[in-house]
Amino acid sequence: KFCARMLQGYDHVLEVGCGDGFGSRFVRHVVNRLTAIDIDAAMIESAKACHGKFGIDFKCTDVIEFADAIYSLDVMEHIEHEASKVWLAQLAYFSPVVIVGMPSLEAQPYASQLSRENHINCMRGADFKLMMKQHFKHVFMHSVNDEIVGTGNFNMAHYNIAIGIN
């Protein structure tokens, strides 16, 4: 919902790591064209079957393409830290507006064991902003708790969203 509000009116938007496409349809309703990619073929097939009727171009690929804006939620925490720097640089190259969201490091003690094992790159809000600043001229940080999006107190946030603009 947050990405839909931020990206409303954009022409071509790319979602990186769309999973089963559930959230894609929120964005599709407010943009002219949405391309949603994921590397998991089963997820893409599910997304096409469930949400293809909404006019979303689902693709099984890891190839990022040029877009007016890119968003990626719940992906970066699964990428090794050093590789995530390269990944962010790629996103910045392909679009002047990039939204990235991930669970906060502060929330990890409350996560399940499986979640902690798979979330190898969660960061504190301040560290996330510093990393984004390496690739974007402007970075706007948001902290999230229970669908409430704010601009502060990252120590209490369960989720962090960064908007990078060049």
Condensed to tens digits (0 to 9), the pLDDT of residues 142-156 reads: 988 877 787 767 777
Query: What pTM value is reported for the model?
Result: 0.94
Q: Which amino acid is at 55?
A: G
What sections of 12-80 are H helices per DSSP?
24-28, 41-51
In this predicted structure, what is the pLDDT of residue 74? Answer: 95
Condensed to tens digits (0 to 9), the pLDDT of residues 76-135 reads: 999 999 999 999 999 999 999 999 999 998 888 888 888 888 898 999 999 999 999 999
Condensed to tens digits (0 to 9), the pLDDT of residues 59-89 reads: 999 999 999 999 999 999 999 999 999 999 9
Q: DSSP assignment of 108-132, as one string?
A: GGGS-HHHHHH----B-HHHHHHHH
Eight-state DSSP code of residue 104: B
Count of helices and strands (H, E) across the chain:
6, 8
